[in-house]
Structure 1
Amino acid sequence: MNKLPRSKLSFLLAAGASAVLLAACSSSNDSAPEPDPVPPTTQKSNILFVVIDDFGLDQLTSYGYGGAVPPKTPNLTAIAKAGLQFRQAWSMPTCTPTRATFFTGRYPSSTNILNAVVSTDLANSEISPYEVTLPKLLRSQGYTSALIGKMHLTGTDLGTAANLPYGHQTMWKLGWDYFDGYLDGAPYPIDTRAGLSNLAEGTHKCGFVSNTTMDPTNGADSGACYFVTNSCEPISRSAQIPTPGRSCMERGGIFDPGQSCQSSLPTHLDFTTQNGYYTGEFVQSWPDGRTRKVGATDPSARGYRSTMETDRAVAWAAQQDQDTPWMMSVGYSAVHAPLQVPPLALISETTPGRNDNLLCSPASDLEGVPGQITGLIDDHIITNLMVEAMDKEIGRLLVELKLATWNPDGTLNYQPEKTNTVVVVMGDNGTYVNSVKFTAPGQFDPTRAKGFPYQTGVSVPLLVAGPMVEQPGREVSHQVSSPDLYQLFAEIAGADLATQVPSNRPVDAQPMLAYLTTPGHGAIRTLNFTEMGTNFTNPSTTATPQPCVLEAANVCFTIFPNKALCDDQSGIWYGAGSGLAGVPADGFSQCGQVMSYRQALDADDQVDVLPDSQKAVSDGLYKLVRLDRKTYTTDTANPINASYLENVNTDELYQIDMAVPNPKLDRSGSAIAVGSPVITAPLPADAQQAYDKLKAEMDTRDQVARYNYLYDTVHCPGDGNRDGVVDQTDLANWTELSQLNLYEGVAQSSWYDFNHDGKTDATDRAIIEKNMGKTCSLSPT
């Protein structure tokens, strides 16, 4: 029988004893040196908002979870110990909807930002410049603001930039004084040529040239390390440099294996291609409207992403006037796919996998176990390494902002009461499927992770520390939701939503400040809500989404327009160029065909369709999940003939409890009752009462979603700025947008594209003129 290598078997199945790491992650002690913080003043508090990507509650030992071998997060633990830890914080199931709630205070169905934005979506599914965004709100209180790193609030500048009306000025138009980050939703795929254009794709799957132990065929133990500045250094394997190719990549270079440095760059070195976490493509914008794009050929865009993101945040903060309060939002790309090993310097010597020469190498596919299991183990190890590296950079961020210092033993000495800065850390959605901690403590559910409204997909860490936090070290058990941060930041800044946000379109956010200032404060939010759906698709795009299947989640979806994005998410592509036997050359167009194809190969195949709409609401004890999913006919003999049948609605009722060490989760098969379209079977009295309450809220949210989805075309065509009236302001806004982002002489998608045809043209102007003077309700009630 094939056996799993001892080191990896131990990693996957080790007992929860490693949770003792938590005790070693103390934030400060009485004998520790005093930090040198910025002294508190009468000035309004600065705000540092850190968003972590694809990082669920399952990862953290401070919450009592983390799996058998948790990642080391001493600095996040230090923040938790110095402030508050919210146990029932919900995000939305995917990134763009959650991040939009932070800065608008509105649920996704209030803005039509229903899923992660891709290039084939309309601008109508992005944050509108007419919203009272958080940076605009804080500006009214004298704040300056910056957004650093990944936030994925807009379309990209790829191709014709069809959903980016303001181009590289977009973040400035949305209210940020400074932007230095990515328009993309994730790092680019790993460059498996490692920057060597004379090699075939897939030669170096880690993104660097392996050593000869890792890859005897293509590896190298010496060579030349070239940099984009045209400089070069010889580099050889040693005790300090176990893998020269990796060391060169970590420094931003390209390793030419087995070669010596030449006087000019060899022509086969490709510095233009992005390489996962080791390059970036930063867009910068300033208050005066200037913009700049920094790509992989710029030295400042080469290095490790978590480090580059920290460096950029520190640089901006250092330039700020101490008399002006600021809010800086820092979006770390980690731990979003692609999973890629971080620099050795950011990882402790004792961390499992740090010195594993077989990790992320061709040899790891030859260890005598099914590739799918091997890949999952490697994914867990690499995730841990990436989390630890990010945690180290978050600690450095606090230290270099002078909010903390390092203790002699390397732990973080963080005393927020001696600073004038509030620090807030939150995950944007649950952990992605391949990285979920499914073992005890925690035992989260990878089949219901990111992309689903179940607990594994939306239960995220939320840490808040600052000078106004009373009795730090507390845990708040009350429910909070991602849009509530909008109101929390407003409260911290002293902004009055009643005077700043139009009364006819109130936000969904609930207040949170009382949890910081008043220990023991009762619950403010009675119901928690999360949702995701389907963005408006651009019919003018030449790229058409095709099916992708995530095996580990048993789900098929048609969101990605190309194979590269599917591959990047560890999916199997069934679109054009899939390379799978029996799949047409131009691919399948929908998931019904994919399911028929798979069932022809295996009648018991369990892959289902990602719902068009997913919502969940909870009172903290019971949880209602509502799904709206396409169904298809089945034709295993000729899968291309499978066709759309109808959409089916389903209600699922669960009991939940985020207990320690193993929470009660909404796992498959654990529902109290399931009904289609609603639950009609008799329920116990408590469950029935809860269902009636949750169903009423869900029905209301469905009504809101339907109303807003049809607002442009049915309820109030012509009101592009959503102020409830079609007037000259709308005509002026259309005039501006109709002259921007032209393609073949016509402006592309914008918030004034009322017929959703991907163009902002004379047809949309005619809609405004036809409805001029019309007043509309901004809600269905």
Structure 2
Amino acid sequence: MSVGFRGAWRAVAGGALFLALAAAAQAASAPKKPNILFVILDDVGIDQLATFGNGGPTPPETPNIDLIAKKGVKFTNVWAMPECSPSRAAMFTGRYPIRTGVEAAIMENHLPQSYMSAFEATLPRVLEKAGYASALVGKYHLGNEKDPAGDCAPSTRGWRTFEGAMTAGLPSVDRTAGGQDPEGAQACGYFQTSAPGACYTMKQSGLACSEIASNDSSLRASPSRTCLQRGGIFSPNASCGDQKPTPADFDRLNGYYVWPKTTISRERNPLYVDSRHQCPAVVDRSYVTSVQRADGVSWWAEQSGPRMLTLSFNAMHTPFQKASTRVVRDPLDRASSCSNSQPPRPLLNNILEGADVEIGRALAGMGLGELDRDGRKLESLRLDDTVVVIIGDNGSQGPAVRLAAGFDPVRAKTTVYQTGVWVPLIIAGPVVEAPGRSVEALVNAVDLFQLFGDIAGIKVAEIVPPSRPLDSKPLMPYLASPSAPAIRETNFTQNGAATFTPEPEERSWPCRIGNLCNDTLFDSAEFCADNGGVWYGPGATTQASSCCAVQQQTGTLNIAPVRQKAVRNKVFKLVEAERFDCSTPISPESKRAVPWADFETRVEKEFYKIKPNEKNPNGLDLADLDLLKNCPEGQDPKSCLGDAAGRAYADLSDELSAIKDSATGQDECRKKGDGNLDMRIDKSDVRGWEAFNGKGPSVYDVNLDGATDGEDEAVIEVNLGVDCMGACARADLDRNGKVNARDLRLLEAQKGECKDAVLCGGDLNGDGRVGERDVQLMQSARQSCKS
């Protein structure tokens, strides 16, 4: 009996071993999913880079970016959104701002309706379905100040790991240099002098000090700059013990060198409320671009399976400060103005060159290449199992624009003109055939969403529930074949006013940058100054309530639109801008564009031919090239533009209207209480309201009064049971316009409790699980829904 048992056991064990070995062999032979390194450069438009034929007469040296471009594909006709937050939300969701609600750079006076929602089907959530670990290192800027999750917000959007800075830009430069100059005259945050002095650093044991002579700086920089790069505070012409800084001085923030760093190491539920401040920022006294590279490399090394790292550099966003000499050599260490309004070209080059060096070091640290002996430039690159994607998040900031070839600093970042939205995109790695080429086809930043899904081997359109319409188009065909036909016939971009808190004291104020005035973005004098602007808000020498009032004081002035959209084809571009009409005070019954509006708005349209030619080699939409400027008022633009331009105008107008109309349903549904973006009002919305009730603003602050309270619950209760998209659209899980057997198979694959409610598209009845009732609803839809 026992012998037979042993024999049977051996037979089973042997069979199991054979199956295990076979499975291992099959796994070994299966293609490995590529890793993904996604690099975002802040405020780097296409005008900055020589590898895209720009950069002006003295472009920055970017040998590492250039090498990646040589090993990959450059996309030369890419649109992002005009500001940081809308572009980032578009990349991480595959959705235009008109759908996400992230229409403007997020500031402290915005409500969570302007943030990237915790209920979006973000890249880290989607890629997790393919076994990918995801981390976001660097700049976040997708909403935290008034979010229930606070600084833990990235962890409620799908990222298990986040390390970096949360807000729009790094802190203002500390002109007191750590409190050592009470007059505040140190424009770059350190004493620009060769004088020796005492360098104080804060250790766990307390204050430490070392003296630096004029000629013994180990970093080949002035003693003061050397001290800053060591994380210290410098007292010029002093010995240790003189002018000793206080511990509080070490908490003074200082641009790229002393900044608040948030660290997150686990994912949280979308309904999480950070009542105990679980994700506090700590002051980091190291050069931010280097820290971001090092943090990214460390996370990468800890992973064993497929991974996606988003390395989101703050460079080259304001405030402008020189890079560390550990990164970019500065042998003469010349003084700089560190001006945000008139930044010297060498300073701008220095910042971008610093990002290029750290990109090279990141790739080397990840085992993807080797650096030269200098440790700054890649000598080789191995991308056999890793896809590298580099993009700018929007056009260059006005004063930083390269003026060569017509790029316009007035029509730069924050505008939908070419200088504001035209960005570089480079993709390299094993998915690229015939590297070293350029693709001129129209591409949008949202298209990266589908690209990353395709790299991971998943169909994002089938994973993201139909309640979240996607705008992303394929990019992989361009990488796989040099002869791939164009996929996009048109492109779209937009910028708009955020959803503001109704508190009057939290409004935005006029900030004039050059000849452009904006009064819907800037909420503080510091943020205005960091963008090179003149402040007209509280505390200003001259205060004004609006840009219209500034215009009355200063004369001719360009006023930034409240909302702006643009759509283009290969040849023509239509711009639609809603602007304040400074000649028409607002009437009591009018809907205000922003809570503090004094004037009505009017809609203006411009139309450009942006196909490059000899006089306009970059095909820019310059002010004097507007084809509508000579059309008589009241005349149909199509009739005065000529045949080809008139047809294009009509087509683009229809396209723009269709895009705007496509968001109407979701907007109405949110007004009824759909806080979790599933296009219905049900018990899950009641649970969402309960989680945030009394916790301040949230996506369940339905009436937008800055509080989640009983008034919002009343709206939800009245609308319980409303389905804003209908059974047919909800059941079309593969988004092909039909409800068929394929949709049923996708639903059955999700059977059971919804572990991730955001991606649980098969839950047709909204009860938190996919079960037989959902199968019945799908079967009913198959019979009743027509394609």
TM-score between both structures, scaled by the size of structure 2: 0.81
Query: 1:240-278: CA deviations, max 9, x gaps?
Result: 545211111122111012211239954387101110011
Deviation of the 1:704 alpha carbon: 3.6
Q: Does 1:342 align with 2:316?
A: no
* Match in the other structure for 2:345: 380
CA distance in 2, matches of 1:576, 1:72: 41
- Kindly tell me: are residues 432 and 266 of structure 1, through their superposed partners in 2, closer, same or farther at Cα, counting changes over 3 Å? closer
Work out the CA distance in 1 between the residues paired with 2:692 and 2:226.
47
**Residue 101 (structure 1) aligns with:** 90
Q: Secondary structure at the match of 2:607?
A: strand
Question: Match for residue 23 of structure 1?
Answer: none
1:673 aligns with 2:635: no
Please say which of residues 501-510 and 386-395 is displaced more in the overlay.
Answer: 501-510
Shift of residue 609, structure 1, vs aligned partner: 1.7
Deviation string for 1:576-619 (max 9, x for gaps)? 1102xxx3xxx3221211111113xxxxxx31221111111111
Matched, 1:724 2:698: no
C-alpha contact 2:638 2:646 (8 A) present in aligned 1: no
Which among 422, 428, 434 is matched to residue 459 of structure 1? 422
Can you list the C-alpha shifts for 1:270-315, whole angstroms capped at 9, x where unaligned? 101110011221111122659543422xxxx112111111011111
1:413 equivalent to 2:368? Answer no
Counterpart CA distance in 1 for 2:393 and 2:572 is: 23
Instruction: Give the counterpart letter for 1:247 in structure 2.
Output: T
How big is each residue's C-alpha offset from its partner over 1:292-348, in whole Å with a ceiling of 9 and x where there is no partner?
43422xxxx112111111011111111112xx1111101100100111111223224
Code of the aligned partner of 1:205: A
| Contact 1:112/1:709 (<8 A) preserved | no
Q: Does 1:262 align with 2:232?
A: no
Report the Cα distance in structure 1 between the residues aligned to 2:504 and 2:264, rounded to whole angstroms: 27
Equivalent position amino acid for 1:336 in 2: H
2:692 equivalent in structure 1: 737
Distance 2:722 2:248 in 1: 61
Aligned equivalents of 2:647 and 2:354: distance in 1?
Answer: 47
Change (3 A) 1:541 1:403: farther
Superposed, 1:348-359 pairs within 5 Å as: 348=329, 355=332, 357-359=334-336
AA matched with 2:627: I
Paired AA for residue 652 in structure 2: L
AA aligned opposite 1:595: Q
Alignment map for 1:68-467 (pairs within 5 Å): 68-156=57-145, 163-196=146-179, 199-211=181-193, 221-229=195-203, 230-238=207-215, 241-262=220-241, 266-267=245-246, 270-287=249-266, 291-296=278-283, 301-321=284-304, 324-348=305-329, 355=332, 357-360=334-337, 378-407=343-372, 411-417=377-383, 419-439=384-404, 442-467=405-430
Counterpart of 1:533? 496
Residue 397 of structure 1 deviates from its aligned partner by 0.6
The Cα of 1:541 is off from its aligned counterpart by 6.8
Q: Cα distance 1:265–1:130, how it changes in 2: closer, same or farther (>3 A)?
A: same
Task: Answer yes or no: is 1:612 the counterpart of 2:567.
Answer: no
Match of 1:561 in 2: 523
Distance 1:78 1:291, change over 3 A: farther
Secondary structure at 2:552 match in 1: helix
Cα distance, 1:201–1:454 mapped onto 2, change above 3 Å: farther
Is residue 127–residue 153 contact of structure 1 (8 Å, CA) maintained in 2?
yes
1:360-391 Cα deviation digits (max 9, x unpaired): 28xxxxxxxxxxxx986643221111011111
Please state how far the C-alpha of 1:692 moved relative to its aligned partner.
1.2
How far apart, in 1, do the equivalents of 2:664 and 2:482 lie? 40
Among 607, 610, 618, the residue aligned to 1:663: 618
- The 3-state SS of whatever aligns with 2:581 is strand
Compute the displacement of 1:170 (Å): 1.4
What are the Cα deviations for residues 100-121 of structure 1, in whole angstroms up to 9, with x where unaligned? Answer: 0011100000111100010100
Asked whether the equivalents of residues 112 and 708 of structure 1 are also in contact (C-alpha less than 8 Å), the reply is no
CA contact (8 A) 1:120 1:541 kept: no
- What is the alpha-carbon distance in structure 1 between the residues aligned to residue 159 and residue 523 of structure 2? 30
Contact 2:581 2:602 in 1 (8 A): yes
The answer to whether the Cα contact below 8 Å between 1:592 and 1:634 also exists between their aligned partners in 2 is: no
Kindly indicate whether residue 467 of structure 2 is the aligned counterpart of residue 517 of structure 1. no
Specify the alignment match of 1:21 in structure 2.
none
Alpha-carbon offset, residue 54 of structure 1: 0.3
- 3-state SS of paired residue (1:270): helix
Q: Do the aligned residues in 1 keep the contact of 2:343 with 2:399 (CA within 8 Å)?
A: no
The letter for the 2-side match of 1:451 is T
**Matched AA of 2:709:** D
Give per-residue Cα distances to partners, 1:62-91, cap 9 Å, x unaligned: 111111110111111111001010000110
Mapped to 1, the partners of 2:324 and 2:644 lie a distance apart of 53
Q: Is the 8 A contact 2:158 2:267 kept in 1?
A: no
Partner of 1:45: 34
Shift of the alpha carbon at 1:434?
0.7
Cα distance in 2, alignment partners of residues 457 and 378 from structure 1: 18
Maintained 8 Å contact 1:48/1:329: yes
Q: Secondary structure at the match of 1:110?
A: helix
Give, in whole Å, the separation in 2 of the partners of 1:393 and 1:310. 6
SS across alignment from 2:699: coil
Instruction: With a CA cutoff of 8 Å and minimum separation of 6, indicate the structure with the bigger relative contact order.
Output: 1
CA contact (8 A) 1:433 1:447 kept: yes
Q: Per-residue deviation at 1:501?
A: 1.5
Q: 2:778 maps to which residue? A: none
Contact 1:547 1:591 in 2 (8 A): yes
> Closer, same or farther in 2 for the Cα pair 1:634/1:111, shift >3 Å?
closer
Q: Distance in 1 between matches of 2:155 and 2:34?
A: 23
Q: Which residue of the other structure, out of 540, 551, 555, is the alignment partner of 1:595? A: 551
Q: CA deviation at 1:646?
A: 2.5
Does the Cα contact within 8 Å between 1:88 and 1:658 map onto a contact in 2?
A: no
Match in the other structure for 1:767: 715
**Contact kept? 2:666, 2:724, Cα under 8 Å:** no
Q: Distance in 1 between matches of 2:351 and 2:580?
A: 36
User: Residue in 2 aligned with 1:370?
Assistant: none
SS in 1 for 2:311: strand
1:57 aligned onto 2:46: yes
Please point out which of 695, 699, 703 is paired with 2:657. 699
Q: TM-score if structure 1 supplies the norm length? A: 0.82
Alpha-carbon contact 2:94-2:470 (below 8 Å) kept: yes
Q: Provide the rounded CA distance (Å) in 2 between the counterparts of 1:429 and 1:256.
A: 39
Structure 1 40/77 Cα, relative in aligned 2: closer, same or farther at 3 Å?
farther
RMSD: 2.6
For residues 437-481 of structure 1, give each alpha carbon's deviation from its aligned partner in whole angstroms, at most 9, with x where no partner exists: 002xx3311110001111111110100011121011110110110
Contact 1:469–1:517 (Cα < 8 Å) also in 2: yes
* Cα distance, 1:687 vs structure 2: 0.9
1:557, distance to aligned residue in structure 2 (A): 2.3
Aligned partners of 2:456, 2:656: CA distance in 1, in Å? 33
Cα shift readout 1:660-683 (whole Å, capped 9, x = no counterpart): 994121011111224679735511
- 1:712 positional shift: 2.8
Asked whether the 8 Å contact 2:198–2:212 carries over to 1, the reply is: yes
Task: Please state if 1:578 is matched with 2:533.
Answer: no
Distance 1:359 1:662, change over 3 A: farther
Instruction: Summarize the Cα distance change of 1:339–1:382 in structure 2 as closer, same or farther, 3 Å threshold.
Output: same
Match of 1:293, SS state, is: coil
Shift of 1:634: 9.0
For 1:161-200, what per-residue CA distance to the aligned partner results, in whole angstroms no more than 9, with x for missing partners? xx2211232111110111111111110000000002x633
Can you list the C-alpha shifts for 1:405-437, whole angstroms capped at 9, x where unaligned?
1245864234344x3111000000000011110
